[in-house]
Amino acid sequence: MRPNEMTSALGVRNEEPRHNDPLSQQSFSFALRIIKLCKYLQSEHKEYILSKQILRSGTAIGALIAEAKYAQSKADFLNKLMIALKETNETKYWINLLYHSEYLTSSMYQSLLPEVESLLKLLIASTKTTKKDTP
């Protein structure tokens, strides 16, 4: 197996995002953190509603970025990135809400916030570049 591949539970190889694609790599890593956060919220706090909200929005970011790679047009590509941007902003909202409702510790919050803000910056830059290059 190549270093950038992993095998799923079904024995199917799934390619991990390449290191030369910071947006894909960062969104994939962030999604893994969100999955762990969801598990933590459910096991330690018995919190199922908010945890599912952040799980949905936080993992959708990387899925939309992956989907954008095979967009049918530049407009479709931009649309996927714009939706990923909206999901990222929604995830930031859930992180803030979980912190202020005392489900997240200060250290957890201080760890997650810069990551989601970094994703926002990357997506904003990508969408601006794509808009500029689209006739």
Specify the CATH number for the domain of residue 74.
1.20.1440.60
Give the DSSP H/E element, type plus range, for residue 14.
strand 13-15
**Cross-strand partners of 13:** 7
pLDDT, the chain, mean: 90
Domain that holds residue 68: 24-133
E strand or H helix that includes residue 112: helix 106-133
Indicate the pTM of the whole model. Answer: 0.85
Please count the structural domains in the chain: 1
Q: Which residue has the tokens 């929005």?
A: 57
In a domain, 19, yes or no: no
Is the pLDDT confidence value at 129 over 90? Answer: yes
In-domain check, residue 17: no
- Asked if residue 32 belongs to a domain, the reply is yes
The amino acid present at 91, given as its one-letter code, is T
57-87 tens-digit pLDDT: 999 999 999 999 999 999 999 999 999 999 9
pLDDT at 11: 47
Per-residue pLDDT at 127: 96
Q: Is residue 41 domain-resident?
A: yes
